[in-house]
Amino acid sequence: MVRDKGKPREANAMTPVTPRYDAVIVGAGFGGMGAAIQLDRMGIGNYVILEREDDLGGTWHVNRYPGLAVDIASVTYSYSFEPNPYWSRVFAPGAELKRYAEHVADSYGLRARMRFDTVVEGARWDEDAHLWIVRVRGGEPLTARYLITATGFLSQPKMPDIPGIDTFAGKVIHSAAWDDDYDLTGKRAAVIGTGATAVQLIPQVAKKVAELTVYQRTPIWVTPKIDRRIPPSVQRLFARVPLTQRLARLANTALLELIMVVGVLRYRQARITNRGAERMARAHLRRQVRDPEVRRKLTPDYSFGCKRPTFSNNYFPTFNRPNVHLETAPIARVEPDAIVTADGRVTEIDTLLLATGFNLWDANFPAFEIIGRTGRDLGAWWRETRFQAYAGVSMPRFPNLVSLNSPYSYSGLSYFTTIEAQMAHMARLFGEMKRRGATTFEVTEAANDAFLDRMTTKLGDSVFYLGDCASSRSYYFNQHGEAALLRPTSTVDTRREAGRFPLSAYEYA
Ligand code: NAP
């Protein structure tokens, strides 16, 4: 160990160790930026934001596929304290989200504290020095009093393990690594996957290619998207009278809450709402697709909400096009110039588009090795016991770690409701630290256990356990069949608890 400032050294009662940073934040997406803004609000300004990509924005920097847009209305899918009156549409296109992220970074002075192309390989709590040592690929380790991970939920692209896929001789593009220079015009393309990404991508691809075959394993529930251009007069109104946009946000958030809380989390008490959502989606499909056989194939056989539903007006009609084919036979293998299904049919293609999503449970919880007190390895502990995190942010034996993308952390449908609740949790926790003059916090085993018990009990009312989810193949479920991603409380409760959790849930030193 090196002994100058910024480097860990042996603790000594006479010489407290000063870390290089108050905090290291990992991830320069909306979660990491929210945490950074919160730290600044609390007067903790000596932090660095490490980002593996070459620019900020997280999902909205990485994803650039055609058709990319939010599928949560922009008035809600943004920080409540930094409204953007100038969204061009009710559901803004992806490029606007990227610009909004840049605007936030510049407005809050975050950019200067970001380090791009910086891959964090691991972090270890130094029990003697009371600091985190963060290993960075190709660089010196960094030391920090606090570690805040904001590595996203959907940030590790999943490549399908289909036999022969490596032998494909044509162009392969994953939706999360779009090749802007590749011209789809006249191509014979295949899309694998029919999740929320594919729902946005397929209509755009279909317009360009000669032939498109969509390989669907599990259909997705799709409801209408009430999207339209926001005229300049309304944008001016939002800018001049911010209350009007706040009201629009409130109305939209209430609608999302109805879908998520009443339809999904309170399934036991409100099956009727869930059935209503299913009926709406079925009617949407009936209105939009002519061929009854195609309609049948596009109809999910699992309950609404078991996997994330989406909103679209142009996905279903794409299957009416003569150049678009829906294939539901399982893929047996990929050959250099074709996809072969289990029934032996061969479809020749030159372009393979993978809308196959992300690996959450194997690769993302956590996104890099984190070793806490007494050598507890977070990934191993989660897998050997249960996926768990107090209030979705902290774990016993991981002092001074705020883990924003944790089990039971995601509350509501818009990620921003989660981010802002977590910011409120940080405000209360760090406020108490300051009041006590403490430098270390750690959630107690008892608080963590009680939270996990409460989440488990509440989930018993949800569609995940009472509905028919067997065939949904939903990333809401982990490898043990537990729906451990979403927090089964209303966003109102999540927010309230973040501002009022018992301070005794933590030990301070
Ligand atoms: P996803 O929902 O995980 O969908 C992946 C798709 O690929 C599924 O249809 C899956 O089928 C299929 N697939 C994966 N591996 C396969 C294989 N080996 N063979 C055949 N099919 C395979 O991923 P996503 O569509 O990228 O969406 C992820 C999430 O991103 C969404 O749920 C949403 O939260 C978010 N998103 C948000 C927006 C937005 O506007 N806010 C837009 C796009 C995405 P199975 O279902 O059978 O596994």
Could you check whether 21-156+360-508 and 165-225+268-302+312-354 share the same CATH topology?
Answer: yes
The full set of domain ranges for the chain reads 21-156+360-508, 165-225+268-302+312-354
Q: What's residue 145's pLDDT?
A: 97
Q: What's residue 390's pLDDT?
A: 98
Topology, domain 165-225+268-302+312-354: FAD/NAD(P)-binding domain (3.50.50)
160 lines ligand 1 (CB under 6 A): yes
Largest CA distance in the chain: 79
Q: How many CA atoms lie within 13 A of 112 on its CB side?
A: 5
User: Given ligand 1 and candidates 76, 77, 197, which is best to mutate, with the most ligand atoms within 8 Å of its CB?
Assistant: 197
Q: What's residue 1's pLDDT?
A: 30
Contact in structure between 415 and 374 (CB atoms under 8 Å): no
Give the closest residue (by CA) to ligand 1 atom 12: 193
Alpha-carbon distance 146 to 326, whole Å?
50
Cβ neighbors of 297 (< 8 A, separation 6 or more) are: 216, 219, 326, 328
What is the Å distance from ligand 1's center to 315 Cα?
14
Where would I find the beta strands (DSSP E) of 243-358?
310-311, 324-327, 331-335, 338-341, 346-348, 351-354
CA gyration radius, the chain: 24
For residue 18, give the DSSP letter: P
195 lines ligand 1 (CB under 6 A): yes
What kind of architecture, by CATH, is found in domain 21-156+360-508?
Answer: 3-Layer(bba) Sandwich (3.50)
Where would I find the beta strands (DSSP E) of 155-195?
171-174, 188-192
Q: What's residue 14's pLDDT?
A: 39
What is the Å distance from ligand 1's center to 107 Cα?
33
Nearest ligand 1 atom to alpha carbon 198: 25
Residue carrying the six token digits 């001016």: 236
By C-alpha distance, which of 140, 149, 144, 151 is closest to 126? 144
286 lines ligand 1 (CB under 6 A): no
Cα end-to-end distance, the chain, whole Å: 25
Q: What's residue 2's pLDDT?
A: 31
196 lines ligand 1 (CB under 6 A): yes
Nearest ligand 1 atom to alpha carbon 195: 25
Give the closest residue (by CA) to ligand 1 atom 10: 193
Kindly report, residue by residue over 61-72, the tens digit of the pLDDT.
999 999 999 989
193 lines ligand 1 (CB under 6 A): yes
Alpha-carbon distance 482 to 477, whole Å?
5
Alpha-carbon distance 408 to 410, whole Å?
6
User: Given ligand 1 and candidates 60, 87, 217, which is best to mutate, with the most ligand atoms within 8 Å of its CB?
Assistant: 217
Backbone angles phi, psi at 190, to 5 degrees: -125, 140
By C-alpha distance, which of 400, 73, 394, 26 is closest to 226? 73
395 lines ligand 1 (CB under 6 A): no
Q: Can you list the residues of the chain whose pLDDT is less than 70? A: 1-16
| Burial zone of 347 (CB within 10 Å; 0-12 exposed, 13-18 middle, 19+ buried) | middle
Alpha-carbon distance 459 to 482, whole Å?
10
